[in-house]
Amino acid sequence: MAETVVRHDIPSVYEPSLFGTYSKKIGMWLFLMSDSLTFGALLYAYSYGRISTAGWPTPFHSESIVNATIMTAFLLTSSLTMVLAVRASVQKDAKMQTLWLLATIACGAGFVILHGREWSNLIAEGLTLPMFPPVPGHEVNAEFANVAKSVPQFPSTFFTLTGMHMLHVTLGIVYLGVVALRKKFIPILLALWLIAWLGTPAYSPFHYGAHVLLLSAIVCAIILWLKPKVYDASDVEVAGLYWHFVDLVWMFIFPLVYLMSARI
């Protein structure tokens, strides 16, 4: 049997697959197609709001833009480490594969942490949604508060688009963690949940958002119970597809939401 790992020979009892590749990969591409329509609908809602609103605000100062640029750098770096993880998996280098996957997770976590900090600052400064509780003991920035009041579509679209993307990055971290460490990742996930839950104040959206981690821990535990298998190179490659897609989505959100709303 040939030991080329990423290309899997299709058993001859089947017709050759239309795309000459294995099922998992086709499944992931199909998921990404539907997910791009999900994001497409959100971007459509954003464009719709932006075009139909006279005087769309451009409130992001250089501080926000610099922060978002660093976040972008984190994500782009994570794409590189992901590619290296896939290469290590093809070369059957289990140790390097795990290390590069963990590096990817670290970059993704850096992105989420920076993003979460930015959200918290914006909410505290008044660029917020009506149902987010006010942050005690923080001075409201008059300009942001005015934007939130006069063009509610601005914070609405901002938090929806970036929030949905943040959710995807978070789930990507869970996904890569399970591929890298399997069962051992579940306790880590639960620890992360507790840190994110107990470490954030009750008025923060992340206080409740942290439960996403608990929910994913439960789902992952069920899936690992149903299919307790060792992940091979194909699983790393498929996980990589997802991760690169999430990066690609950010490459739409960053210019549309940040750069086009920068104060020049």
Partner 1 sequence: MVSHDAHAHAAPQGFIRKWVFSLDHKVIGLQYFFLALAAVLTGMFLSLLMRIHLVWPNASLPFFGEIKPETYLSLLTMHGTIMVFFVLTTAPQGGFGNYFLPIQIGAPDMAFPVLNMLSFWTTFLGFLVLIAAFFVTGGAPLHGWTGYAPLSALPSAGPGEGLGADLWIISIAIFCIGALMGALNFITTTLDMRAKGMTLMRMPLTCWAWFITAILGLLAFGVLLSAGILLLMDRNLGTSFFVPLGTVNGVLTGHKGGSPLLWQHLFWFFGHPEVYIAILPAMGLCSQLLSVFSRKPIFGYKAMVYAILSIGFLGFMVWGHHMFMSGMSPYSAFAFSIMTMGIGVPSAIKTFNWLGTLWRGKIRFSSPMLFAIGFVSLFVVGGISGPFLAQPVLDIYLHETYFVIAHFHLIMGVASIFGIFAATYYWFPKMFGRMMNEPLAKAHFWLTFIGAYAIFMPMHYYGMAAGLRRYSQGTEVAWINALAPVQKFISIAAFVTIASQLIFVINLFWSMKKGEKAADNPWEATTLEWITATPPPHDNFGGVTPVVHNGPYEYSVPGTSKDFVMQTDAAVEAKH
**Which residues of this protein are in contact with partner 1, per CB under 8 A?**
1, 8-15, 17-19, 22-24, 26-27, 30-31, 33-42, 44-45, 48-49, 52-53, 129-132, 151-153, 155-156, 159-160, 164, 223, 226-227, 229, 232, 234
- The whole-angstrom separation of Cα 132 and Cα 255 is 26
- Please identify, using beta-carbon distances, which residue of 158 and 243 lies nearer to partner 1: 158
- Please identify, using beta-carbon distances, which residue of 13 and 264 lies nearer to partner 1: 13
Backbone Cα Rg of the chain: 21
Report helix, strand or coil for 227.
coil
- Please identify, using beta-carbon distances, which residue of 36 and 79 lies nearer to partner 1: 36
Neighbouring-strand partners of residue 60: 262
CB of 96 to partner 1, least distance (A): 21
Residues, the chain, total?
264
- The whole-angstrom separation of Cα 162 and Cα 158 is 6
CB of 1 to partner 1, least distance (A): 7
- Please identify, using beta-carbon distances, which residue of 39 and 175 lies nearer to partner 1: 39
CB of 103 to partner 1, least distance (A): 26
- Please identify, using beta-carbon distances, which residue of 99 and 232 lies nearer to partner 1: 232
In the block, residue with structure tokens 């699983």: 235
18: CB partners within 8 A, 6+ apart: none
Question: CA nearest 249: which of 39, 47, 107, 34?
Answer: 39
CB of 56 to partner 1, least distance (A): 11
CB of 9 to partner 1, least distance (A): 7
DSSP secondary-structure letter at 181?
H
